[in-house]
Structure formats: structure tokens, C-alpha cells
Amino acid sequence: MDVTELFSLKGKTALVTGAAYGIGFAIAEALASAGAKITFCCRSREHLDKALCDYSERGISAQGFLCDVTDEKQVGEMLEKIGGVDILVNNAGIIKRIPMTEMSADSFKEVVDIDLVAPFICSKAVIPGMIERGGGKIINVCSMMSELGRETVSAYASAKGGLKMLTKNIASEYGAYNIQCNGIGPGYIATPQTALLREPQPDGTRHPFDSFIISKTPAGRWGVPQDLYGAAVFLASRASDFVNGQILYVDGGILAYIGRQP
């Protein structure tokens, strides 16, 4: 067998939540390059329309939906329009940087609903169809905060830690049906959302957070969305058929590194 055939996604339909821009867009782009039909969803009409143009500019024929992935009814209606989903990427997420003692329970719950409950809802919705078709792939976009804590992100870290365990539980419960559920844990990725944290200060020095990330990353740089391409295609393809319940951290080595000795 030609080994490259193991990574082909021809004939597969992928649903990537929150893929209007950023990491979700990059993952969808990677899956499309391997031959998958791309469907995606987001909550904003403005973002949806712009994303459709962006996909078209890259030669990708993507189908987009307005959908609140925390709403079971909306997710079910979207899946009826899509038909069968072979690859689900639970990417939609938010973060609220608020000290724990200043964060309301409602704000905490909102983060958990989008970052953890929504992947449960979407996975629950696609699994019966995957069983009928003889298998499928679920990829949960986890985080450094699935393993590490940090100031002001108690809700996000709680949700992403839970998502890691949801990944393992889906693998445990449905692995016998040839469903593989794994996670990608991106490190710190250079996207428009992190641009302000990477801009030089007026005196030409690095932003303090930029310096912090560089000092903690053995690769000595921020990741770029393209760094996630290989992991996404691997976990979506036959190449990972005996990989289940794992989190693949694409972090430049952060989790392996205690930091430089002063």
C-alpha cells in the first residue's frame, strides 16, 4: 500500500465547529487539502459570510451554517441538512480572562457550556450515524489548559480539562464501533486574536506575554496555524485507526519543559 493513501480523506465529510477563522479555519483547510468535503458552523452571520468568501478564495467549496452548538435542537437541524458526518472537529470555544473571585457563576457556566457541553452535544449527535456507517473520527480541540492552570482562566481550564476526559470517555465507550476520539492541544498559536500580545512595545522590546511564551517554548517561537495541519489530517484519517483517547499536543515542547535555569 502507498502509505500516503492512509492520510487521504477523499469521500469523507467533515464538520468543523467554529471554523470561520483562526485554528478552526486552519484545521478545515488542512482536511480539505486531504480531500474532505468541508462543512462548518458559527454563530455570527458576518463571520459566516466572510468565512465563505475566505474558503472560496483558497479554492475550498465549504458549506456553512449558522448554529449555536450549545443548542441540541439547532445542532440536530444542522446535521439533518448536512447528512452523514464522518469527521467531527469540536473547535468552537471562548475564553474569559477574569480572576476567579471576580467571576460570576453565569460567566463561568457560559464558558463551560461552549467549551465542554457543546462538544458533548455535537458528539452525541453524530455518533449514531457513525455507528451505522461503520466508524468515524471525532477530534476535540483541547488546550495547554487541559494540563496546566494559569491566572484568570479558571472556567476555561476547567472546561478544557473536562474536554480531555470527555475525549477519553468517548474513546472508551465507542471504540468498539470503530470510532476514534482524540484531541489536539494547540500551544500558543499566532492568530489575529493574539496579535496584540505579539506587537513590540513602544521602546522596541517584546510584549511581556510574548517574552513569557518564547521563554517557555523550546522551539523559541509561537506556533502558526499551519503547524496544526499534520496533526489534524493524521487524527482524521485511517492513519490513526488504532489511536484512541489520546491528546496530541502541538505546542513546540511547552509541556516537556520546566523552563530555562536563571
Task: Please state which CATH class domain 3-189+224-251 belongs to.
Answer: alpha beta
Question: Residues near 222 by Cβ (< 8 Å), separated by ≥ 6?
Answer: 187, 188, 189, 190, 194, 198, 210, 213, 214
Per-residue confidence band for 260, with pLDDT thresholds at 50, 70 and 90: confident
The ranges of the chain annotated as CATH 3.40.50.720 are: 3-189+224-251
- pLDDT (tens digit per residue) in 23-57: 999 999 999 999 999 999 999 999 999 999 999 99
174 included as an active-site residue: no
pLDDT more than 90, % of the chain: 93
Question: Is the pLDDT at 11 greater than 90, yes or no?
Answer: yes
Q: Is the pLDDT of residue 209 over 70?
A: yes
The answer to whether residues 250 and 231 touch, using CB atoms and an 8 Å cutoff, is: yes
List 248's β-bridge partners, or say none.
184
Checking if the pLDDT of 233 tops 80, the result is yes
pLDDT grade for 1, boundaries at 50, 70 and 90 = low
Residues near 27 by beta carbon (within 8 Å), at least 6 away in sequence: 16, 19, 89, 91, 139, 141, 184, 228, 229, 232
List 55, 156, 174, 188, catalytic entry: 156
| CA triple 203-206-208, angle to 5 deg | 110
- Closest by alpha carbon to 87, among 55, 123, 116? 123
Which cell numbers hold the place of 238? Answer: 485511517
Q: Give this prediction's pTM.
A: 0.96
Q: What does the pLDDT look like over 126-169, one tens digit per residue?
A: 999 999 999 999 999 999 999 999 999 999 999 999 999 999 99
- Looking at residue 98, its amino acid is I
